[in-house]
Amino acid sequence: MVKKQESGLMEKIVSLCKRRGFVFAGSEIYGGLANSWDYGPLGVELKNSIKKLWWQKFVVERDDMVGMDGAVILNPKVWEASGHTGAGFADLMIECKKCHSRFRADHLGFVDEKGNIVSREDISCPECGKEDWTEPKQFNLMFKTNIGPTEEKTNMAYLRPETAQAMFVNFKNILDTTRKTLPFGMAQIGKAFRNEITPGNFIFRTREFEQMEIEYFIEEPNSDKDWQKHFEYWVKQTKDWMELIGINLKKVDAFEVPDNERAHYSKRTVDFMYEFPFGKKELYGLAYRTDFDLKNHEKFSGQNLKYKDQETGKEFWPHVIEPSFGVERSFLAILCEAYQEDPSATLGASRVYLKLKPYLAPYQAAVFPLLANKPQLVAKAREVYDSLKNRNSSFSIHNSFNVAWDERGNIGKRYYSQDEIGTPYCVTIDFDTLENNTVTVRDRDTAKQVRVLVPELKDFLTKKIYS
Ligand code: GAP
């Protein structure tokens, strides 16, 4: 029987990530840097697959979407216009007077449901247990930097805290160059930076992370119904995406964020809360940003950012629905869903395998010669390996798999090793291959094996991986 072990799941995932080269602690040889993480050879493959699939679904396959890639450091006025330099993008922070640990005031209960600060004597510091606090104060989450060789107020800039703003800032450029008509969307994938007060839970909340964001521009609504229909459409799209990457929707709640908790720009926000092992937490967000951003950028830049309807000649600021997806939170939720233990396994310990969607796995297949000391087997296995990697084709960018090669140890251990990193299919070249040109293809999830003719192998795997 295959069991999902919820207890200790996070520890097991963190350990597997490090052991197999998915995620390493950042700057490890210098003792690390708190809450920073580096992605190793397998981690970067999984991350790239997530981003590639997202781009495919939301840009390549659609006529109403265009992509862009904006700068990380923008003119500081952008952040004034967007409201990020104000209280809207600050967290209330509170400090323990004894141990000087800092916390978000709302996380400890110093803020009531209406967002008001409440003074309380009875809350102890989670670090040292003392009940002696400073007054809560606003802390802006943007990272500051300086442009040029001197550190002056006049050349101060920020690292972007969301990818969204580059899309608003380029609204006119994109409109002029693509001639898109409403409704249409822009998509962007890139790094964002926030000086979070309480990062943690592995890669869940970090100070440097990647976002995949869409700004979907719609007509100026005449009634709430007009924007609600687009909003509901993007609720459905977000859910479809979650299913595509293997998230069990039973573990996701669409939480309507109440007025007092919504970001300053939003008239409606739904947070998609996923049941992580450490609690139900935001995986993705969906917000109706109204015309807040374009209107403000017009005000601050003095440039006309209105859309002109070609038929009626009417000019207006389009309204915006914004689905926002975190790459690292996708990565973590995918691993939480995929981690499986099979205690009925035969190699002593439980068989651990990642039941990743085959198209997301770091390797789609692994190729093994049954015995590493039989040159004929190795040569044939190399031939199969090269053909799956499209080594001998000039069109190798298309239709090639990520394929692993392993000839170490016994075959059972090689299977287990690939299972643990989520490789969906292992192809073994044995003595029968030399006789009848067939190979064994073993399925990660069932451990069942079938024999497939070498000339049919690529089509066989393609169908399995992509259907
Ligand atoms: N442009 C809207 C925006 O940035 P957000 O809810 O602040 O909205 C969107 O962020 C998504 O970015 C979140 O749902 C989450 O997936 C990801 N995210 C936000 N802060 C993060 C952090 N500190 N670490 C990792 N991911 C984060």
Task: Specify whether the CB–CB gap between 25 and 32 falls below 8 A.
Answer: yes
10 Å CB burial of residue 100 (0-12, 13-18, 19+) is exposed
Pocket test of ligand 1: the residue of 162, 214, 274 to mutate, having most ligand atoms within 8 Å of its CB, is 162
pLDDT for the residue numbered 397:
52
For atom 12 of ligand 1, which residue has the closest CA? 326
**C-beta atoms surrounding 107 within 10 Å:** 14
Task: Specify whether the CB–CB gap between 240 and 286 falls below 8 A.
Answer: no
Mean per-residue pLDDT over the chain, rounded: 93
| Whether residue 202 has its Cβ less than 6 Å from ligand 1 | no
pLDDT for the residue numbered 1:
42
Q: Which of 60, 67, 265 is nearest to 178 (CA)?
A: 67
Peptide bond into 183 cis (omega under 30): yes
pLDDT for the residue numbered 206:
97
Handedness of CA 175, 180, 185, 187 (dihedral sign): negative
Q: Are strands 144-146 and 23-25 parallel, antiparallel or unpaired?
A: unpaired
- Options 3.30.300.100, 3.30.930.10, 3.40.50.300, 3.40.190.10; CATH of 9-85+146-336: 3.30.930.10
The DSSP letter of residue 60 is I
Q: Under CATH, domain 363-466 is a member of which superfamily?
A: Anticodon-binding domain (3.40.50.800)
- Where b means 16+ CB within 10 Å and e means fewer, 249-265 reads eebbeeeebeeeebbeb
Q: Which of 352, 365, 367 is nearest to 424 (CA)?
A: 365
| pLDDT at position 266 over 60 | yes
| Whether residue 458 has its Cβ less than 6 Å from ligand 1 | no
| Whether residue 355 has its Cβ less than 6 Å from ligand 1 | no
When mean pLDDT is compared across 20-29, 32-41, 69-78, 124-133, the lowest value belongs to 124-133
Residue 286: how many CA atoms within 13 Å on its side-chain side?
A: 21
Q: What is the C-alpha separation between 196 and 204, in angstroms, rounded? A: 12
Q: Are strands 156-158 and 37-39 parallel, antiparallel or unpaired?
A: unpaired
- Residue 139 C-alpha to ligand 1 middle, in angstroms? 17
When mean pLDDT is compared across 4-8, 64-68, 371-375, the lowest value belongs to 4-8
When mean pLDDT is compared across 184-198, 274-288, 368-382, 394-408, the lowest value belongs to 394-408
Q: How far, in Å, are 76, 174, 235, 285 from residue 325 at the CA level?
A: 24, 22, 12, 7
- Residue 315 C-alpha to ligand 1 middle, in angstroms? 32
pLDDT for the residue numbered 141:
92
Q: Bridge partners of 352?
A: 341
- Residue 384 C-alpha to ligand 1 middle, in angstroms? 43
Report the atom number in ligand 1 closest to the C-alpha of 284.
14
For atom 14 of ligand 1, which residue has the closest CA? 284
Q: What is the mean pLDDT of residues 375-382?
A: 98
Q: Which of 419, 401, 422, 421 is nearest to 411 (CA)?
A: 419
- Look up residue 102 and give its two tokens: 């800092």
- Look up residue 352 and give its two tokens: 């651990």
| Whether residue 206 has its Cβ less than 6 Å from ligand 1 | yes
pLDDT for the residue numbered 262:
92
User: Which of the pair, 343 or 376, is modelled with greater confidence?
Assistant: 376
Task: Specify whether the CB–CB gap between 329 and 213 falls below 8 A.
Answer: no
pTM given for the model: 0.93
How close are the terminal C-alpha atoms of the chain, in Å? 26
Token pair 């659609």 in the structure block, residue: 62
- Look up residue 36 and give its two tokens: 């920073």
Rounded percentage of the chain residues whose pLDDT exceeds 70: 95
| Whether residue 213 has its Cβ less than 6 Å from ligand 1 | yes
Q: What is the C-alpha separation between 92 and 105, in angstroms, rounded? A: 5
| pLDDT at position 326 over 50 | yes
For atom 19 of ligand 1, which residue has the closest CA? 326
For residue range 98-123, list pLDDT tens digits in order.
888 888 888 888 888 777 888 777 89
User: Can you give the residue ranges of every domain in the chain?
Assistant: 9-85+146-336, 87-140, 363-466
For atom 17 of ligand 1, which residue has the closest CA? 326
| Whether residue 329 has its Cβ less than 6 Å from ligand 1 | yes
- Residue 182 C-alpha to ligand 1 middle, in angstroms? 26
Rg for the chain (alpha carbons), in Å?
26
Q: Are strands 315-316 and 307-308 parallel, antiparallel or unpaired?
A: antiparallel
| Whether residue 164 has its Cβ less than 6 Å from ligand 1 | yes
For residue range 300-313, list pLDDT tens digits in order.
999 999 999 999 99
10 Å CB burial of residue 47 (0-12, 13-18, 19+) is buried
